[in-house]
Chains A and B, each alone.
Chain A
Amino acid sequence: MTAAALALEARGIAKRFGACVAAEHIDLAVAPGEVHAVVGENGAGKSTLMRAIYGLEPPDTGVVAIGGEVVARPSPEESIRRRLGMVHQHFMLVPTLTVAENVALGREPTRGGLLVIDEVAREAEAIGARYGLGVEAHRRVGELSVGEAQRVEIVKVLWRGADVLILDEPTQVLSPPEVDALLEVLRRLALDGKSIVLVTHKLDEVLRVAERVTVLRRGRTVATVATRETTADELARLMVGGDVSAVVRERRRGAAAGETPRLACEGLSVKREDGRLAVDAVTVALAAGEIVGVAGVEGNGQEELALALAGVTRAAGGAVRLDGRDVTGLPVSARRAAGLAYVPADRHGRGLSLEQSFADNLVLGDGRRYAGAGGLWLDRRRLDADARDIAARLDVRPPDPEERVGALSGGNQQKIVVGRALLAGPRAIVCAQPTRGVDIGAAQRIRAALLEASDGGAAILLLSSDLDELLALSDRVVVMHRGRLAGEARLDAAGLADVAALKARLGRWMLGA
């Protein structure tokens, strides 16, 4: 291919931050009308590459060419002018404005000094109809679901005339049916001649929608391959640079009749701020060593359920029992001391204090563990020892208790959150999104550590938006829909006999069908 034929090309992109090399030598070539996936572990250089291409952070060396022309002075404005658009992982939408207003934001068309939003609305709906993006231009963005908001982002980029679209981890927040719809949209866009760069962790999506895939590892392009000529296994090997041994779990029985469950919630209800029920009379019991997965489209009460179980928020009704003991009235610290650990889904907000050190962050686990002499003394030696212990068990890099947590990669941060919950052998763990946004290597470590804990007898309630993860780890999966349990599937040999059918069934429950 000649450079002139390419929709987008990046050559020899390198970028350093201090002593840390974020990108060493990355090449990417995207043809017109192609869906091109970019995969790689966390820290492989995906974000650095995208930021360089979009002009957010120009590279130290290397060039970016859009439509065959080298961009001399890269900036987001320049990229948009050259018909390159980016759909960010975190939406850049104003919730109080309508869809049309959001689409027009920053370049509102006016006639005689007056805003003419109706024109934008018509155009946005036309773009939506053309690509199956179905947006209602007059609705407020705040009322939209995550999937709908994402479609607005895509319409926004298209309305600005983009011919090349970069989508950064677009499926992270979507339910399986929404993912299907998005991939269909991407196909249609490509058929229409648009070029799509799809940044993702999910290899099955890559294989389903992309024509070619570029694999990054440690700041370098290791391969660009046609998806027709590769397999998920090969891609995974290219990404991690070695063999990936999938975690396969020996399934366990549930609680025997008469046995006291390790962790049980009985008719648990949690109210939202507006008084409506976020969790509506949920009952689920976990035996010792049992892993129960909770599936569901995000926002159906999983987060509220986890917070109430951990004791962070109050239940509006029902009870939480640990080894048969009613802990409903106990605060977080007392539940932790009784052996109930919690891995919050929101790693940065709820899980860690980013400006503090690895060791300092362990105080956010079982605080009493480090209070010596009746609370007068902070046991720094124990903090240090625990940090080293976690680092050794989960391979935290660097294994330095003094390292600032914010300077670690997402995978290493998550290892700290999970490792902290596993300290001192908890009786039960409420574990939300343990591997979200984490590279394959770290995810494997974390899953192995969770399995080890369950082998040791810990009951684990695993809330995850990654269905494959739930299927790989759980003994049972329950599905939450609108705060209620919509269904339950046992993952024994019979249940796993037809995985495709099982997934379809879970998917229907997720959507309340």
Chain B
Amino acid sequence: MSPSTRLWAARLLGFVWPLLVTLLAASLLIVACGRDPIAVGRTLIDGTWGSTYGLGQVLFKTTSLVFTGLAVAVGLRAGLFNIGVEGQLIAGAFLMALVGASLPRGTSSIVAVPLCLTAGALSGAALGALAGALKAGRGAHEVITTILLNFIVRAAMVGIGQRLFLHETIHTAPVVPGAELPRLGRFVDAFHGSAVNASLFVALAAAGALAWLFARTPLGARFTLVGKAPLAAETAGISVGRTTLVALALSGAVAGLTGSGFVLGYKHYYEDGFSGGVGFMGIAVAVLGRAHPLGVLVAALAFGTLSAGQLVVNAAVPKEIVDVLTAVVILAVIGTGPRLRQFVSRMKGGGAGQGARIQ
């Protein structure tokens, strides 16, 4: 086997194995709830992939998970764990909504949509850059600072919300029509009524752009070098501090776009608690997707299915089961990593006791 075949085999295994572990965990939990896992699974599949409406709901959830998964993946590439995606996406969605609502009513969508997306990306990037600057300048660990920034953003939203939300609601004023992203139901009848919207294409474009950035640009090469061999990067004249700052800012920018699905494409305003922890789920998506944009897309679809499905099976099992499974996936990936390397290295044509390159 050539090194690249080995690499892909390792990636595929790295994906399938944690998924099997998760399925097993899910079955056990469902049995513990006194239900039949196969019946619950069937209900879940019927309610999601079984209808175009259900599929639309899956894609709507998937959209947000692609953004947050990509955001975490950018950090992982450079060896950084951005736990602050949740805070960054809240800040991004809020700014996006404010900018969208403050534009003149007749603003064309060619101007309004990019403006709103930029506002979201910039606010997420600012939070990411802050964590990056603290790490580069003061050596503060990004896991700690981004977690703390999550708390700060949430607390700040309480105060800011009271001033800026519409009277007696927990949401902002709606964005102008030009800033709205159309629902897919407008183009494809089958999706009628479901929340999936053009933000999905923004997410796919972001995945494509990042795949290109990682593989085909000097910046992407610097991310990987700093992530995998910081001392060698420094010796080669690559500034570890600056690369860290740029990576966390970019990670925050991608996180800041997450709100586009809800704010621009679905409800057209920012609403308290809209994210439902999608920022944290992004960690599982990125880890399962091995920080590769393609992997993130597939992992996001898997989690999108679970996420949309939790409402379908809510009557049978508590919806918190999804949070449990999110954690199980992360643990399964981390726990099986080294064994997987051994396994792949023993496959035909493997090198001398060497593991395959697993992102």
Binding site for B on A (CB under 8 A): 17-20, 22, 307, 310-312, 331-336, 342, 344, 346, 349-357, 360, 363-365, 367, 370-371, 375-378, 380, 400, 402-404, 406-407
Known contacts A332-B236, A353-B233; can you find 13 more A-B pairs with CB under 8 A? Answer: A17-B345, A20-B353, A332-B235, A333-B236, A351-B232, A352-B232, A356-B224, A363-B225, A364-B236, A371-B218, A378-B216, A400-B2, A402-B2
A367-B2 contact, Cβ under 8 Å, with A19-B348, A378-B221: no
Binding site for A on B (CB under 8 A): 2-4, 215-222, 224-225, 228-229, 231-238, 345-354, 356-357
Chain B positions within 8 Å of A22 at CB level: 352-353
A404 (CB) vs chain B CBs: closest residue: B357
A331 to B222, CA, bound (A): 16
Chain A positions within 8 Å of B351 at CB level: 17-18, 20, 404, 407
Chain B positions within 8 Å of A312 at CB level: 234-235, 237
B323–chain A nearest beta-carbon distance, Å: 32
Chain A positions within 8 Å of B224 at CB level: 353, 356, 360
A236–chain B nearest beta-carbon distance, Å: 25
Chain B positions within 8 Å of A334 at CB level: 237
9 A-B residue pairs with Cβ-Cβ distance under 8 Å, sorted by A, are A18-B348, A18-B350, A311-B237, A312-B237, A342-B235, A352-B229, A352-B232, A353-B233, A402-B4
A355-B236 contact, Cβ under 8 Å, with A360-B221, A363-B225, A378-B218: no
Of the listed residues A18, A334, A363, A406, the one surrounded by the most CB atoms of chain B closer than 10 A to its CB is: A18
Chain A positions within 8 Å of B354 at CB level: 17, 404, 406-407
Chain A to chain B: the 10 pairs with minimum beta-carbon distance, closest first: A332-B237, A18-B350, A353-B229, A20-B352, A333-B237, A407-B351, A17-B352, A17-B353, A364-B236, A350-B235
A442 to B170, CA, bound (A): 70
Contact in complex: B236, A367 (CB < 8 Å)? yes
Q: Which of B216, B236, B356 contacts A380 (CB 8 A)?
A: B216
A303 to B219, CA, bound (A): 29
Chain A positions within 8 Å of B348 at CB level: 18-19
Contact in complex: A376, B3 (CB < 8 Å)? no
A332 to B231, CA, bound (A): 13
Interface of B is mostly: helix
A370-B218 contact, Cβ under 8 Å, with A312-B234, A332-B235, A350-B232: yes
Contact in complex: A353, B234 (CB < 8 Å)? no
A350 to B238, CA, bound (A): 12
Contact in complex: B217, A351 (CB < 8 Å)? no
Q: Which of B219, B234, B349 contacts A18 (CB 8 A)?
A: B349
A352 to B236, CA, bound (A): 10
A353 (CB) vs chain B CBs: closest residue: B229
Contact in complex: B225, A364 (CB < 8 Å)? yes
A335 to B235, CA, bound (A): 12
Contact in complex: B228, A355 (CB < 8 Å)? yes
A18-B220 contact, Cβ under 8 Å, with A332-B235, A354-B229, A402-B3: no
Contact in complex: B232, A353 (CB < 8 Å)? yes
Contact in complex: B228, A18 (CB < 8 Å)? no
A431–chain B nearest beta-carbon distance, Å: 14
A17-B237 contact, Cβ under 8 Å, with A363-B218, A377-B216: no
B329–chain A nearest beta-carbon distance, Å: 23
Chain B positions within 8 Å of A342 at CB level: 235
Chain A positions within 8 Å of B222 at CB level: 363, 367
A20 (CB) vs chain B CBs: closest residue: B352
Contact in complex: B235, A407 (CB < 8 Å)? no
Chain B positions within 8 Å of A370 at CB level: 218, 221
Contact in complex: A310, B235 (CB < 8 Å)? yes
B234–chain A nearest beta-carbon distance, Å: 7
B338–chain A nearest beta-carbon distance, Å: 14
Of the listed residues B228, B235, B346, the one surrounded by the most CB atoms of chain A closer than 10 A to its CB is: B235
Contact in complex: A344, B217 (CB < 8 Å)? no
A48–chain B nearest beta-carbon distance, Å: 9
A40–chain B nearest beta-carbon distance, Å: 16
B299–chain A nearest beta-carbon distance, Å: 21
A420 (CB) vs chain B CBs: closest residue: B236
Contact in complex: B350, A19 (CB < 8 Å)? yes
A35 to B269, CA, bound (A): 82
A52–chain B nearest beta-carbon distance, Å: 13
A439–chain B nearest beta-carbon distance, Å: 15
A18–chain B nearest beta-carbon distance, Å: 3
Of the listed residues B218, B231, B238, the one surrounded by the most CB atoms of chain A closer than 10 A to its CB is: B218
A336 to B235, CA, bound (A): 11
B349 (CB) vs chain A CBs: closest residue: A19
Contact in complex: A349, B218 (CB < 8 Å)? no
Chain B positions within 8 Å of A364 at CB level: 225, 229, 232-233, 235-236
A406 to B350, CA, bound (A): 13
Chain A positions within 8 Å of B236 at CB level: 332-333, 363-365, 367
A353 to B232, CA, bound (A): 7
A322–chain B nearest beta-carbon distance, Å: 15
A349 to B224, CA, bound (A): 15
B113–chain A nearest beta-carbon distance, Å: 24
Contact in complex: B347, A18 (CB < 8 Å)? yes
A18 to B348, CA, bound (A): 7
A407-B216 contact, Cβ under 8 Å, with A312-B235, A363-B221, A364-B235: no
A400 (CB) vs chain B CBs: closest residue: B3
Contact in complex: A356, B235 (CB < 8 Å)? no
B199–chain A nearest beta-carbon distance, Å: 26
Chain A positions within 8 Å of B215 at CB level: 378
Chain B positions within 8 Å of A352 at CB level: 229, 232
A335 to B354, CA, bound (A): 35
Chain B positions within 8 Å of A363 at CB level: 218, 221-222, 225, 236
A367-B357 contact, Cβ under 8 Å, with A17-B352, A350-B232: no
Q: Which of B3, B216, B229, B237 contacts A404 (CB 8 A)?
A: B3
Contact in complex: A367, B238 (CB < 8 Å)? yes
Chain A positions within 8 Å of B4 at CB level: 402
A235 to B224, CA, bound (A): 44
A157–chain B nearest beta-carbon distance, Å: 26
